[in-house]
Structure 1
Amino acid sequence: MSHPFENLPTTPRAEEILDKAFSRATRASGSKTGIEAQQSMLMTASNIISDNLENVATQWPTIDELDPFYVELADAVVSETDPADDDPGIDALKQHLSNISWAGRKAKEIRQEYEGRVVRSDVDTSRKLRKQAFARMADITEQVAEDLEAVSKARDALKGLPDIRPDEPVIVVAGYPNVGKSSFVNRVTRADNEIASYPFTTTQIRVGHVEADRIRYQLVDTPGLLDRPPEERNEIESQAISALEHLADTVLVLVDPSGECGYPLAQQLELRDDIESLFDAPVLTIGNKSDRSTDVEADHFMSVTEGDNVQEVLDAAIEAVDWEIELPFSDE
């Protein structure tokens, strides 16, 4: 199962829709003459315009029915695609889709309005009426040109969201840069399960997987999000963190008591306290680089580079998640 935006088709531009509609309308009338030719052109152009516009809207998932994680993360991503918009974000996207759907319906209404008049007219009048209908359909399509462009940008950005599944347990790995987060995730993730990097604004969300007792756990590393104080995060990054709050079943905050990461231990612990205040899930403090120092109060110690106690830390995270498989039947 992919994430809800992964398979969205390319969004056509207004000019592309009109070029396609009118060129095919011309070809459709090639074997016909008189009023029949005008009818065929009107029907073909209307169908192409209305189908293309309505398909743009209907092929998107229903936003309000998505998991809150994807709603909030999409809101943050879409805000980034058009920061100049007075009302950016998921609500603006929904309005763009609504406008496009309206234009598709309007193209049908224009055809219905003109087809009876075309049939009842002489050849010259029917040609004029068909041209009037084309002009109105073109005007309607051009009215939503900016909506189509905005939806196209949103689609391109949202296709890059990570495939994080709300129905599987999530372990978030946090901490300052250079404390060993990515090394830990790399080490515990199965060798045959690639850790993918996904673009998100100026940062990345990296997702790896590990299985234990027939349960697949998702390990989420968030460079650029949960690796610095809250006052240094912009609004969009804070919103992305809010999205993660919906998913996290436990959080591992890695600290480097040796200070070799470049950040004082006190500063690292302040970040840990901030993360504890954000998440309702269990937060475990993990002292990494234990071969260098264990001078910190932590739930567990490990050294990823030396391979010391790494599996034990993963086991502790899984235990904190406390996830049970839902059986398809029950005795109750």
Structure 2
Amino acid sequence: MMIFEKIHTVPTSEELTNKAFKRAARAMSGKTIEGRDSRLRANESMVLTAANIFTDNLANIVRRFPSFEQLPTFYYELTDVLVGIEKLKMSLASVDWASRKIHEVARSYVGKIREADLPEPVRKEAFGRIASIVKSINKDLLFLNEARNILRKLPDVHDEPTIVIAGYPNVGKSSFVSKITGATPEIAAYPFTTKGVAIGHFIRNNIRYQVMDTPGLLDRPMAERNNIERQAITAIRFLDAVVMFMIDPSESCGYEIEDQNRLLAEIKENFDLPMLVVANKADRPEFRKMDEIELNISTITGEGIEEVMGKLLEMIEEKRLRSEPSLEEPSLEEPSLEEPSLEEPSLEEPSLEEPSLEEPSLEEPSLEEPSLEEQDKESII
């Protein structure tokens, strides 16, 4: 399950108020109320029932949002770009405050009801106070629901070794993904794109790998995007990934080699990830080899696919080894074989300066005449 999918729809303050007060009224329907004690218990029960509905619903809103500090960096960056981490924290804090405040107010009014001659006005006053608290966080509830709708659309990217496929449209990226995964990749939404991303998986040597095709993302110059779009796209650099950039030297994709090379240079500049450049459509008669590209493939015939896969997996393994903590041999210089120092503990004579042997001061207690204020206090006593 994607990390944001468990966030339920966030109700408005009006929806929450109607739900709580209707439930409180329904809890008392059909019950016979006779005498003062019965009326007190009925009104007390209505306040506690409504308060429990409010506090439970508000607490659940906070609980269902993930801990942002524990989010994978990829999702943290996207969340911050799309809705704002600090704004989310502030709204969730407001909802949490409201939940605790309603509990406090309800307990206070239960005590007042027990002491009241007429409990109904006190119960209505309690309902008014609680409704006012919920109304004060309505903007936060609206924002959290909007954030929830945005975040639930993010792609389900697993914490797995990943191959990100980049390049202009029609160069053969989706065909490559289908070829190596043996299935049609799942299309997932991605911010600021209409096509989303295509995600597939394959297993080699009992290790599951993730392949991400990026139509609408890494297929046109960054200069054509605004700042927020660029930030959302470059969040990909936080994946445990290597990049395969695919070029079509035949230019049958509709883009000239010069344009494809410019996009390649731009992606290299924006993504600090290992990158493999591959030329596709080697089966076409107009295909021409390029000196700067080592590997040529055809997603139609399968030519060169296994060689490219081997290289990509090798790059992933090299990246993993570089990211692991160093396991250097311990230095043989330790422990030191030098003679232990005899300087400590110090063998000097203890200082006789402390404790001080000075004569005690005779200044306190003060023998001054008491002030007029003090005399007044004494006379009162």
Specify the TM-score bucket, using the shorter chain as the normaliser: 0.7 to 0.9
Report 1:51-130 matches (<5 A).
51-78=56-83, 89-122=84-117, 124=118, 126-130=119-123
Q: Distance in 2 between matches of 1:148 and 1:187?
A: 46
1:240 aligns with 2:232: yes
Aligned mate of 2:51, from 46, 54, 58 = 46
1:120 deviates by 0.7
Q: 1:299 to 1:90 in 2, by over 3 A?
A: farther
- 1:158 corresponds in structure 2 to 151
Task: State the TM-score, normalizing by the size of structure 1.
Answer: 0.88
**Local SS of the residue matching 2:189:** strand
1:134 aligns with 2:127: yes
Q: Distance in 2 between matches of 1:294 and 1:131?
A: 82
1:314 deviates by 2.0
- 1:265 corresponds in structure 2 to 257
- 2:304 corresponds in structure 1 to 309
Task: State the TM-score, normalizing by the size of structure 2.
Answer: 0.77
**Local SS of the residue matching 1:200:** coil
**Local SS of the residue matching 2:215:** coil
Report 1:206-285 matches (<5 A).
206-285=198-277
Letter in 2 for 1:108: H
1:23 deviates by 0.8
Aligned mate of 1:195, from 160, 169, 185 = 185
1:305 deviates by 2.3
Q: Distance in 2 between matches of 1:277 and 1:241?
A: 13
Report 1:179-194 matches (<5 A).
179-191=171-183
**Local SS of the residue matching 1:220:** strand
Q: How many residues align?
A: 311
Q: Distance in 1 between matches of 2:186 and 2:146?
A: 22
**Structure 2: 5+ residue runs without aligned partners?**
322-328, 330-381
1:35 aligns with 2:40: yes
1:280 deviates by 2.5
**Local SS of the residue matching 2:264:** helix
| Percentage of pairs with the same residue | 42
Answer 1 or 2: higher relative contact order, Cα 8 Å, separation at least 6. 1
1:248 deviates by 4.2
Deviation by residue 1:267-291 (Cα, 9 ceiling, x = unmatched): 1111111211222321111111112
Q: Distance in 2 between matches of 1:94 and 1:234?
A: 26
Deviation by residue 1:284-323 (Cα, 9 ceiling, x = unmatched): 1111111231332213111112322223222221111117
Deviation by residue 1:183-240 (Cα, 9 ceiling, x = unmatched): 111121133xx62212223311221111111111111111111111111122232122
- The answer on whether the counterparts of 1:250 and 1:317 sit within 8 Å (CA) in structure 2 is yes
4+ residue runs over 6 A deviation = none
